[in-house]
Structure 1
Amino acid sequence: MEPPYEQAIDRTIEAPPAPLRSPAVRCLLLLALSGLCATLASCGGGPAASSAGSGGGGPDAVTLTLDWYPNADHAGVYVAQERGFFEDENLEVEIQQPSDPAAVLQLVAAGRSEFGISYENEVTNAAVREIPVQSVMAIMQEPLNSIIALEGSGIDGPEDLAGKRIGYAGQSFGTAVIDTVVEEAGADPASVEKINVGYDLRPALTSGRVDAIVDAYWNIEAVELEREGFETNVIRLPEVGVPNYNELLVATSDDYARENPEVVRRFVSALVRGHEAALEDSEAARDALLAANEELDPEVAARTLELTVPIFGSGGGPVGYQDPEEWEAYIAWAVENGVLEEKVDVGDAMTNEFLPEG
């Protein structure tokens, strides 16, 4: 039987619709999608055919596929590009957006993109499904996913969620979070009405259809709600019983890491420098991001960056570091709550060996 990623499917690279950034929606699509055909790379159908090992002494050409359109989460990437950190590592990096965020790991596994930004939840799901990818660097070392309620809703903390209507984006991650948070607060999860609102998280909240939403990012959706005139109460997940995990990470394929370890090391080194520079100079991060996406509202970009950039170094280790014990704890929680079908070996899903300190 073919591994899922070897079942052929092709996609045009273009900007994805914004609602697909929700981790639960991405997970739903990941479960439904077959992967990209791995033989495309050997046929010269993707960028890997012209990357490392091409000879001639020029820079190694690689592609980084984002998880979504350029936003504050990607500030370190664009600082690395703007300041020439990739060039310093003899790399020519093309940054592209996917038509479907749930297909990023399939692109990477098939050799259509050497690197991709994805999520711990998706990398662990990929490991269960034998999609040969691994995380080589954390970008966000803690969850951005959160529970958001409007001020005045009567929801000030997790203890107030019992008996309320909570909207989620349609998959087991959101419902598992609700159950964990409510139970941790000493209430009965069965008292909560869980409503699948799909992509319409913010409209469901502001219209009064639900009392709170999960699968929303506290550094993006909460800021956008405030921009629209709604004050919010935010419940951040690690504070209320959900294990800490890396919201965003950089993945490559097992084959690419094995065949091009020095390219991976140089790429990660440049990205680490970009994130360190963003931590040191938030204005430079803002300028690099706005140059990459002129449609961003400068005020919203500044606020989201103010909230986001400190997370680049929040993991208790070097920028980019992934804590194996936190991965173990997240995997155990995900299996227990039905987010993962079975336990996976952390070593099959992530490595720190390519970090400058690794």
Structure 2
Amino acid sequence: MTNRKKSLKAIAVGATVLGLVAAACGSDDAADSSASGDAGGDAAACETVDQVSLQLQWFTQAQFAGYYAAADKGFFAAQCLDVEIKEGAVEIVPQAELATGNVDFAIAWVPKALQTREAGADIVNISQVFARSGTLQVSFADSGITSPADFAGKTIGNWGFGNEYEVFAAIGAEGLDPATDVTLVGQQFDMVALLEGEIDAAEAMTYNEYAQVLEAINPETGELYTADDFNVISYEEVGVGMLQDAVWADAGRLADDAEYKDQATRFVAASLQGWAYCRDNVAECATIVTNAGSTLGESHQQWMMNEVNKLIWPAPDGVGLLNSADWDRTVTISQNTPNLEGATVLTAPPSDGAFTTEITKAAWALVGDGADLFGNDYTPETVVLKEGGK
């Protein structure tokens, strides 16, 4: 076990603390114990500081604000951690980076990671941060596309790279054949093809690409497009939403290496505290991410932070705790939704050990009253987008 002067005592009394946390769920006390800037510990008390790495699944942006906030506000340092946050890219597969030992932890969508796990990667979901899917299909209001049933005969964009599973699930749920009833085309990670009329509906995330269309100028009015100009289909709302951003760890190391398990617990604790801080400090966390190297504009970054919060909060069971019904839905869709070639994401249910709630619960004990882990009183902010997301 890592030599530290803090945290071990908290783990020892974890069961007691967890009982208090559970009792607080839904109470006024829980709602009032909002995250402050207090890191909840004294980094100077660390006898040693452990260096660990986190692989993101995309570039620096508010999608990952909780981790950047944990670094910026000292939450990682208070847990005696020095965390290297590594940007993602199209060619980087976070869960593969984890499985090959290049990083200690990774952020990945659940179906993608389970597919990699089925192929032999010994990885485990240790904290399910995003509780809701943020994937949309966006079309112009005059397209007539108001539900997945309307995809028939239309040209539907998707990103591929494992981001298209919900699109196929929605098509299948309507009894449509993706190979003959719909024209599916590869889409860039932007909304240009939609805005230029090359596709009828574009895949988008609530926190990114949807904002891009609302930041664009409507050539007919000379003003920004508004929400009334578009139809939006939420895959979460139509019942095929799949679990997205989760923290994954090396399952073998977690089982055999007590020091790594301790690091994982402290990493999750600080990360959840970072997410609680960003729930309560939208503008500041957007700035933290910008200062960390994001090239997105200020209003776009604030929009993203606000929308990401909606995918996490409120967390009635406690932030990071995997909901079994959501897991089962994701697994079922992954097993039963064929792509153009007839293949499914998973060929069988995940084997035992694909997820654990032990780390998140132990992390809650470390956080204690240092953050509100439920956000029962959470209310989204109103963010006004500017042209180009400036």
Which interval holds the TM-score relative to the shorter structure? 0.7 to 0.9
Q: CA deviation at 1:227?
A: 0.6
- Listed one character per residue, the Cα deviations across residues 196-234 of structure 1 (whole Å, up to 9, x for unaligned) are 2243662221221211123x2122101011111344322
Match of 1:246 in 2: 243
**Identical aligned pairs, as a percentage?**
21
Distance 1:269 1:200, change over 3 A: closer
Which secondary structure state, in structure 2, belongs to the residue aligned with residue 233 of structure 1?
Answer: strand
What is residue 80 of structure 2 aligned with on the other side?
A: 90
Whether the aligned pair in 2 keeps the contact of 1:155 and 1:233 (CA below 8 Å) is yes
1:64-106 deviation per Cα after TM superposition (whole angstroms, max 9, x unaligned): 1111111121111111111100011001111111355542222
| Offset at residue 314 of structure 1 (A) | 4.3
1:121 equivalent in structure 2 = 111
Aligned partners of 2:335 and 2:349 also within 8 Å: no
Higher RCO, 1 vs 2 (CA within 8 Å, ≥6 residues apart):
2
Query: CA offsets, 1:141-172, max 9 Å, x none?
Result: 11122211123322233343333221223467
1:224–1:198 Cα change, 3 Å: closer
The counterpart of 2:212, out of the listed 202, 209, 224, is 224
Inter-partner Cα distance in structure 1 for 2:88 and 2:177: 40
Q: Distance in 1 between matches of 2:322 and 2:88?
A: 25
**Which deviates more, 337-346 or 347-356?**
337-346
CA shift at 1:298, angstroms? 0.3
Aligned counterpart in structure 2 of residue 233 of structure 1, from 208, 231, 234: 231
Q: CA RMSD in A?
A: 2.5
Cα gap change, 1:299/1:171 in structure 2, threshold over 3 Å: closer, same or farther? closer
Say whether 1:340 aligns with 2:328.
Answer: no
1:218–1:346 Cα change, 3 Å? farther
Is the Cα–Cα contact under 8 Å of residues 55 and 88 in structure 2 kept in the other structure?
A: yes
Structure 2, unmatched stretches of 5+, are: 1-45, 218-224, 339-343, 366-390
Name the TM-score, length of structure 1 as normaliser. Answer: 0.76
SS of equivalent residue, structure 2 residue 328: helix
Q: 1:244-276 CA deviation, whole Å, 9 max, x = no partner? A: 432111111113322121111011000011111
- SS of residue paired to 1:267: helix
Instruction: Provide the C-alpha distance between the structure 2 equivalents of 1:266 and 1:201, rounded to a whole number of angstroms.
Output: 36
Taking the aligned partners of 2:139 and 2:294, their CA distance within structure 1 comes to 30
Q: Report the count of equivalent residues.
A: 300
- Structure-2 separation of matches of 1:280 and 1:203: 33
User: Normalising by structure 2, what TM-score?
Assistant: 0.70
Native 8 Å contact 2:133 2:311 kept in 1: no
Higher Cα Rg: structure 1 or 2?
2
Gaps of 5+ in 1: 1-55
Q: Tell me the equivalent position of 2:359.
A: 354
Amino acid at match of 2:193: A
Greater mean alpha carbon deviation, residues 58-67 or residues 94-103: 94-103
Q: Secondary structure of the residue that 1:343 maps to in structure 2?
A: coil
Show the counterpart of 2:184: 195
Offset at residue 301 of structure 1 (A): 0.9
Distance change (3 Å), C-alpha of 1:344 and 1:63: same
Take 2:143 and 2:96, find their aligned partners in 1: how far apart are those partners?
41
* 8 Å Cα contact 2:282/2:306 also seen in 1: yes
- Matched residue type, 2:192: P
